[in-house]
């Protein structure tokens, strides 16, 4: 039976560490502040923004929220981003995805100053992830890497398989694993015989948004399985991995919910504190 990797407990531990960093910054005259821009009234997005606000409160980070109507123009949104970029009291800027139709998300994200881009989605920060000289890591892949550290999962020389090639999770996840000296394979919808590839993995990270894609017989015995998926099935949230089957084969596994999810928001807090320190020439 696999060891359960508890994301809630790890997030609680990490938020305590982040709060100490935030307190140190305040003692030095710097208050970390996160500005979150929400455009429209999507219920899921509103929930995510509330969760980020609560996380800020728990970590001692100032939370700035900007709720804009769905008919906000590109010019209006650009003007707000420019204003926040120029405000030295704002450490990080996040634009809640998805934006309403007609607003080019990539272009607007690229307008955020790279040193305030706490999602690490700006093209400059994406390039830094590729080169391995980044200041901030994308939040979900960063949370996954924290699991490996917390549970002493060795990566150097191991075979790692990432299922999913999104810009948000799959691609940066592969880069972080590669920088940790794992041998990395990326799988996707065109991969022939997915199970043949995943069965080679010492470390398997799944992030495609398809419930139960990975079955127990697709997992190498003793492997570490990280399930990033979050799918609603019959009123319940489930991952991309068939948990009941996988936990009988894997050595370590994350649950859904309660696994990677709590760590994603936690890493956003970490990035905000990191950005605040860097902007003021402070080493934490």
pLDDT class of 38 with cuts at 50, 70, 90: very high
68, 77 contact by CB (below 8 A): yes
Q: Are residues 156 and 252 in the same domain?
A: yes
What is the mean predicted confidence (pLDDT) over 92-118?
97
Q: Are residues 144 and 213 in the same domain?
A: yes
Segments of the chain assigned E as strands: 3-4, 33-39, 62-68, 92-95, 159-163, 183-187, 203-206, 224-227, 231-233, 236-238, 252-253
Q: Are residues 211 and 243 in the same domain?
A: yes
Give pTM, 2 decimals: 0.96
Range of the domain at 164: 139-261
Whole-number mean pLDDT of the chain? Answer: 97
3-class secondary structure, 186: strand
Q: Are residues 38 and 73 in the same domain?
A: yes
User: How high is the pLDDT of residue 50?
Assistant: 95
d(CA 39, CA 29): 32
Q: Are residues 152 and 106 in the same domain?
A: no
Distance, first Cα to last Cα, the chain: 39
Single residue among 81, 115, 149 that ends a domain in this structure? 115
pLDDT class of 44 with cuts at 50, 70, 90: confident
3-class secondary structure, 133: coil
Identify the CATH number of the domain in which residue 190 sits: 3.40.50.720
Q: How many domains does the chain have?
A: 2
**pLDDT 10s digits, 108-130:** 999 999 999 999 999 999 999 99
Q: Which residues are catalytic?
A: 52, 96, 119
Please check the confidence at residue 251 and state whether its pLDDT lies above 90. Answer: yes
Which DSSP helix (H) or strand (E) runs through 125? helix 123-131
User: How high is the pLDDT of residue 24?
Assistant: 98
d(CA 110, CA 116): 11
d(CA 221, CA 179): 25
Q: Are residues 107 and 174 in the same domain?
A: no
Q: Are residues 159 and 255 in the same domain?
A: yes
Q: Are residues 104 and 143 in the same domain?
A: no
User: How high is the pLDDT of residue 274?
Assistant: 98
pLDDT class of 284 with cuts at 50, 70, 90: confident
**pLDDT 10s digits, 179-233:** 999 999 999 999 999 999 999 999 999 999 999 999 999 999 999 999 999 999 9
**74 token code pair:** 């590109």
Largest pairwise CA distance in the chain: 56
DSSP state of 96: P
Instruction: Determine, yes or no, domain membership for 181.
Output: yes
Identify the CATH number of the domain in which residue 98 sits: 3.40.50.10860
pLDDT class of 276 with cuts at 50, 70, 90: very high
Tokens 């700006």 sit on residue: 122
Q: Are residues 250 and 157 in the same domain?
A: yes
């Amino acid at each position: 039976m696999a060891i359960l990797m508890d994301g809630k407990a790890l997030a609680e531990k990490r938020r305590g560490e982040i709060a100490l960093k935030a307190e140190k910054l305040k003692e030095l005259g710097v208050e970390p502040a996160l500005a979150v821009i929400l455009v429209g009234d999507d219920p899921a997005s509103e929930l995510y923004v509330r969760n980020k606000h609560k996380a800020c409160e728990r970590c001692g980070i100032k939370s700035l929220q900007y709720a804009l109507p769905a008919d906000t123009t590109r010019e209006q949104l650009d003007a707000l981003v420019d204003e926040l970029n120029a405000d030295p009291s704002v450490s990080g800027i996040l634009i809640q995805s998805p934006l309403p139709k007609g607003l080019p998300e990539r272009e607007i994200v690229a307008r955020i100053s790279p040193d305030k881009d706490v999602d690490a989605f700006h093209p400059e920060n994406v390039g830094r992830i590729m080169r391995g000289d980044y200041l901030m890591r994308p939040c979900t892949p960063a949370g996954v890497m924290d699991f490996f550290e917390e549970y002493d999962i060795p990566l150097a020389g191991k075979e790692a398989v990432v299922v999913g090639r999104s810009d948000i999770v799959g691609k940066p996840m592969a880069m972080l694993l590669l920088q940790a000296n794992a041998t990395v394979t990326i799988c996707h919808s065109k991969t022939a015989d997915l199970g043949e590839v995943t069965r080679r993995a010492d470390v398997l990270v799944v992030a495609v948004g398809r419930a139960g894609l990975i079955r127990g017989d697709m997992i190498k015995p003793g492997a570490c399985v990280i399930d990033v998926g979050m799918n609603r099935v019959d009123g319940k949230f489930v991952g991309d991995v068939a948990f009941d089957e996988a936990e009988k084969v894997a050595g370590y596994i994350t649950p859904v919910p309660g696994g990677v999810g709590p760590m994603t928001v936690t890493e956003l807090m970490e990035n905000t504190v990191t950005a605040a320190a860097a902007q003021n020439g402070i080493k934490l």
